[in-house]
Amino acid sequence: MSRSSWRSDADPFAFLVARGPVAELTSATSWLQTMLDVEAAIAAAQAATGEIPGEAAATIAAACRVERIDVVAVEASAEQGGVPVIGLVEQLRIAVGSTAAEFVHRGATSQDIVDTAAMAITTRAAAVVGEQLTDAARSVDELAGAYGAAPMIGRTLGQFALPTTFAGVAGRWRRGLGEASAALGDLGASLPVQLGGPVGDAASYGARAADVAAGVAERLRLAVPDGPWSSVRTPIARIAGAWGMVGTVVGDVATQLVALMASDVGELSEGADGAGGSSSMAHKRNPVAAIAARAAAMQLPGLIATLLHAAAGHDFERATGSWHAEWPALNTMLRAGGSAVDWLATSLERVVVDVDRMAANLKVAEAARRR
């Protein structure tokens, strides 16, 4: 049997940086469906305020399914126009049919659709990754419950320092995972819809623009902002901040797992069957999941820098490149962060604690100290 397809031919390293549920949330299909959800929510909110007929909104809602849209045409349009929305709206109007077509995307602009979809996708990613962090914290709780009292040598600047217990290590991990999870919870509760219209003043949505915004937010479970943020990108900065917290916690815990799993230390190991082999050395057992968690987490600071650089350079009412630059950086960052957490949770599930080795190392350290 021979097949020539990788999970995604476009991403040879998906196994490393697109593991876990966030990968699907951030796929092209997910983005297209979410943008359609935004179009449907706008139509529904406008029907509720009486701006468009309820029947039109229902027709639009029914058409807002990615299966009903010619996505190849949408992509071709994106390759021409540099944005996926123009083609999406064209294809949605075709799917909707002639009667309701005029009510599609009413008052809206490309940025409203992309920005609001980005907030919806990020909110979902925050929920999913937050749960994974909670799972990881539970694994740490279990380890701490079973082995917290085990004495071990503390190490600072790489040197034997003073005795401590595994509870000290696990406690720091636990608090960090809890804080990261909480940061994602706060994020998920705060991301706002964008309904600025063509020039970011919401005027195109008419006198009841605020009600439309509230209606869209309710339907998509997003927050209602005080007004458009089309060219002052505070939600992007907030996302970067929360994902930076995720990367920091995963990076630290994974770095410490890797350190404690080193052969020279040997106090922890990843006890998975089948994983961690070597192409040249059959006897080796590598802490693969912790290493992969580190590698995935290391993607974040640079992506966050890109996202912040882009978010900070918006000119006039819609930016000449900075807005577009946010998209791939955001999407890749969400994926890498989610993947890092997934690998970390995997490593924590696999952890085997060697209290004898802890005791032995402690003895060595104490002997060295007395010398």
Q: Does 141 bind a copy of itself (CB under 8 A)?
A: no
Q: List Cβ neighbours of 271 (8 Å cut-off, separation of 6 or more).
A: 350, 351, 352
Q: Respond yes or no: is residue 318 known to be catalytic.
A: yes
Among 25, 26, 137, 216, binds a copy of itself (CB under 8 A): 26
Helix axes 28-48, 209-220, angle to 10 degrees: 130
CB-based burial label for 315 (10 Å; 0-12, 13-18, 19+)? exposed
Catalytic residue among 65, 138, 208, 318: 318
Site string for a copy of itself, 66-105 (x = CB under 8 A): xxxxxxx--x--xxxxxxxxx--x---------------x
Using CB under 8 A, which of the segments 47-55, 63-71, 124-132, 208-216 binds a copy of itself?
63-71
Q: Is 223 in the site for a copy of itself (CB under 8 A)?
A: no
When binding is defined by CB under 8 A, the residue of 23, 52, 195, 351 that contacts a copy of itself is 23
Q: Kindly identify the residues of this chain, within the stretch 239-298, that bind a copy of itself according to CB under 8 A.
A: 240-242, 244-245, 247-256, 258-265, 274-281, 283-289, 291-298
* Residue 176, H or E segment: helix 166-188
Interacting span for a copy of itself (CB under 8 A) from 50-58, 131-139, 150-158, 211-219: 150-158
DSSP 3-state of 13: coil
Minimal distance, residue 142 CB to a copy of itself, in Å: 18
CB nearer to a copy of itself: give 193 or 242: 242
Neighbours of 201 (CB within 10 A): 14
Instruction: Quote the distance between the C-alpha of residue 335 and its chain's center.
Output: 5
Q: Are 369 and 153 in contact (CB under 8 A)?
A: no
278 is catalytic: yes
Per-residue burial over 129-159, b = 16 or more CB atoms within 10 Å of its CB, e = otherwise: bbebbbbbbebbeebbeebeebebbebeeee
The Cα-based distances of 258 to 25, 159, 243, 253, 270 in angstroms read: 29, 16, 22, 9, 10
Question: Which parts of 291-350 interact with a copy of itself (CB under 8 A)?
Answer: 291-325, 327-329, 331-332, 336
226 binds a copy of itself (CB under 8 A): yes
Which of residues 55 and 72 has its CB atom nearest to a copy of itself in the complex? 72
* Helix (H/G/I), strand (E/B), else coil: 162: strand
Candidates 27-35, 47-55, 130-138, 210-218 — which segment interacts with a copy of itself by CB under 8 A? 27-35
Residues carrying an active site annotation = 278, 318
